[in-house]
Chain A
Amino acid sequence: MLDSIFYPGSIAVIGASNNEIKWGGRILKNILSAYKGKVYPVNPGETNIQGLNSYHSVLDIPGEVEMALVIVPAKFVLSVAEECGKKDVKGLIVISAGFGETGNNELEKELLSIVRRYGMRMIGPNTLGIVNEPASLNASIIGRLPTPGSISFITQSGSLGLALAEWTINTGIGLCKVISTGNKADVDDVDLIEYLNNDPSTGVIAMYVEGIKRGREFIDAVRRVRKPIVAIKTGRSKRGAKAVFSHTGSIAGSDEVYSAAFRQAGILRVEDIDDLFDAALAFSCQPLPSGNNVAILSNGGGASIVAADECERHGINIVDLTPETREKIKKVIPQFASNSNPIDTAGTVSFEIYDNSIQALHDDPNVDAIIVIYVHTMMFSAMPPAEAVVEMKQKCIKSKSRKPIIACWMGGAGTEEGVEILRSGCIPNYPVPERAVKALSCLIKHSEFLDKVKVGAGQEDKMGRCK
């Protein structure tokens, strides 16, 4: 049913405008920029909008309309929704504000009853729209379509969510869908997560959450979803102001309960906005590790110590390598360098060193995941080690066993070309070791969720992940 919203064959933009500064103008322009299906502007005051015939009402449109965007003042929304129902529109995206979020709960209820009566589905009201890259659909006020990817992002907040989406698009992180949920009068988190779970182009779900409706159902639904879900939940609890009856009452603020609920559902709760997309990026292009034993390769001792410290903080084990592995690595690194984990090449960098070392680590049965660090100095180029990482990944895809490889290219200026090789080779790369380790810790935690929390078959798909 939600396919009518995400993959519509035809769209009516009700409240379309020639003025691109207005929402109705901006969104129509965004849709027209890439979408290949039929688009019908609706505005009783215009005959031609952005080069298209404009209709007085959705009922005047000659062909079928599968989805309608509603961008009219709140007082007109009910009659517009009623007309959409009569026109047999399947999905609505109601951008209009002035409903539950301003205390106008009655109007929202009436809108929902119209939607239900006609068997439609609705996102919103008070949403900033949706983006679905595989359908080339930008039915939102977001500036442009993202780079293709397998991350779908559900955001409850309007502007912050939007800013995050824009920022993500600008960093070149691939996105599949961006969904601004608005007031969630009809389609809510449970509906969306279940839909995205069945969406072949979504590999990982990122969420910006302020509050969840249908809490217990949400937990049960999410436990059946085996795709990784990473969430940031804002709105720390307000408590302790008044005298409370019990100790439990004073400690169990909503934030603690959310943390518990997310863990029971198998949702990775992250603290910072950086963490959200760092983790999503790792999920979108790396397999899951089968355990928490990591090997670290670095050309700088300091960086590898920072990484090892962070690993310890997250319960990740810096594993002992087998004698064979250490022997293989000893042959390629300088004599004075360390061939025990973390591997430190003592400043020396070459394609061969990184290639052979990563290969040896990957072949080591004790190792579940690899963190590859490159610290930039003027002595070396950031490119050959990056090429080694990407080449290793290609080899691994061909072989049956594939372990996650997380990169950390440090040093800013001078590393750009290496970073670009990693990015286009679909290796998650982070500018500091802590972020690389945190992202890896999410992969490990999700593996644990699959074993301990998630229900259903364990057919772990590489679905939706880039090659």
Chain B
Amino acid sequence: MKILTEHEAKKVLSKYGIQVTQGSIAKSADEAFRIASGIGFPVAMKISSPDISHKSDVGGVVLDIKKEDVKAAYSDMISRISKAVPGANIEGVLVQQMAPPGHEVIVGLKKDAQFGHALMFGLGGIFVEIYKDVSFRVTPIDKKEALEMISEIKGSPILKGIRGRKPVDVDAVADVLVSVSEMAQKENIVELDINPLIVGENGAVAVDARAMVEK
């Protein structure tokens, strides 16, 4: 069993055509600045460590960092994490483009002893944590089934546009579901969360991801 860092997990997602927020791992404040300049400001910074999977719980996520704050943000994060999680193996800091506007949804996979893999879809944030408003399928699925999964959840009208808000790109979410279904076996996924996948009027982007794979 191996836990992939966000950066590694996103590489897998990219391989299957899923759009991810761009970024690279910086190992110094100067490198962080170089990467951020390449991406364009503001940026997000996230700690990258195989020992830390819930990054924000330990202060490992900082958003909306302006050009002049990048170097300090890097140093602060390293010292904060060293105190919060002593002995953690820190690979560096993931410097990333900020997520585009849109709705947060979650796409996940879980290996199942009886049926192979279960694929999950739901609205992100509190909807998944509190209301458990999600739908499931056993993989593999096709696009038609992916669209059904999206329609099935109670919160589905939110995605399709209510109260004058424009509908989001449900089709792009369905494509992500099909891609995740496809990678389940090929990548020996034990568990995977794309949380959130941010879906706007045009396209869906994986902003955070975590995965556990079987080696």
Contacts and interface: CB of A to CB of B under 8 A. Distances in A.
B115 A219 contact: yes
B114 A246 contact: no
Interface stretch (B10-18, B126-134, B154-162): B126-134
Interface of A: 211-213, 215-216, 219, 244-249, 251-252, 254, 256-261, 264
Contact of B110 (A215, A249, A261): A249
A289 B195 CA distance: 42
A257 B136 contact: yes
Given A246-B210, A248-B120, A252-B108, A211 B114 contact: yes
Contacts of B191: 244-246, 248-249
Contacts of A215: 112, 114-116, 138
13 contacts: A219-B115, A245-B3, A245-B212, A246-B110, A246-B191, A247-B195, A248-B106, A248-B109, A248-B192, A257-B136, A261-B115, A264-B137, A264-B145
The contact size tier of chain B is 20 to 34
B52 interface: no
B158 to A, nearest CB: 18
Contacts of B110: 246, 248-249, 252, 257
B104 interface: no
B6 interface: no
Contacts of A259: 136
A260 B115 CA distance: 10
Contacts of B212: 245-246
A260 B210 contact: no
Contact of B138 (A213, A216, A245): A216
Contacts of A212: 114-115
Interface core residue of A245, A248, A251 (most chain B CB under 10 Å) = A248
Interface of B: 3, 53, 106, 108-110, 112-116, 118, 120, 122, 128-129, 132, 134-138, 145, 191-193, 195, 210, 212
B124 to A, nearest CB: 9
B120 A252 contact: yes
Nearest to B211: A246
B114 A247 contact: no
Q: Is the interface of B mostly helix, strand, loop or mixed?
A: strand
Contacts of B138: 215-216, 219, 257, 260-261, 264
A169 to B, nearest CB: 31
4 closest Cβ pairs, A-B complex: A248-B108, A215-B115, A215-B114, A260-B136
Contact of B129 (A213, A246, A247, A256): A247
Centre residue among B53, B128, B134, B136 by max chain A CB count within 10 A? B136
B76 to A, nearest CB: 28
Contacts of A260: 118, 135-138
A249 B53 CA distance: 14
B118 to A, nearest CB: 4
Q: Which of B112, B116, B122, B210 has the most CB of A within 10 A?
A: B112
Given A246-B212, A264-B138, 5 more contacts: A212-B115, A248-B106, A251-B120, A251-B132, A257-B110
A213 B114 CA distance: 6
B136 A247 contact: no
Contacts of A213: 114
Contact of B114 (A245, A249, A254, A264): A254
B8 to A, nearest CB: 15
Given A260-B118, A260-B138, A247 B128 contact: yes
A352 B131 CA distance: 52
B176 to A, nearest CB: 14
Nearest to A214: B114
A248 B112 CA distance: 12
A349 B53 CA distance: 69
Contact of A254 (B109, B112, B128, B129): B112
Contact of B136 (A245, A249, A256): A256
Nearest to A248: B108
Report which residue of A244, A247, A251, A260 has the largest number of chain B beta carbons within 10 angstroms of its beta carbon.
A247
Contacts of A216: 115-116, 138
A393 B101 CA distance: 60
B192 to A, nearest CB: 7
Given A215-B112, A215-B114, A260-B118, A247 B193 contact: yes
A264 B138 CA distance: 8
Contacts of A211: 114
Looking at A212, A252, A256, the one whose CB has the most chain B CB atoms below 10 A away is A252
Contacts of B3: 245
A257 B193 contact: no
A416 B128 CA distance: 50
Contacts of A258: 114
Contacts of A219: 115, 138
A256 B132 CA distance: 11
B130 to A, nearest CB: 11
Contacts of A257: 110, 112, 114-115, 118, 136, 138
A216 B118 CA distance: 11
A261 B192 CA distance: 19
Given A215-B112, A215-B138, A260-B136, A247 B118 contact: no
A256 B128 CA distance: 14
A211 B112 CA distance: 13
A252 B193 CA distance: 12
A137 B133 CA distance: 48
Nearest to B148: A452
A286 to B, nearest CB: 28
A257 B195 CA distance: 20
Contacts of B210: 245-246
A258 B113 CA distance: 11
A265 to B, nearest CB: 9
A252 B136 contact: yes
A326 B13 CA distance: 60
A23 to B, nearest CB: 31
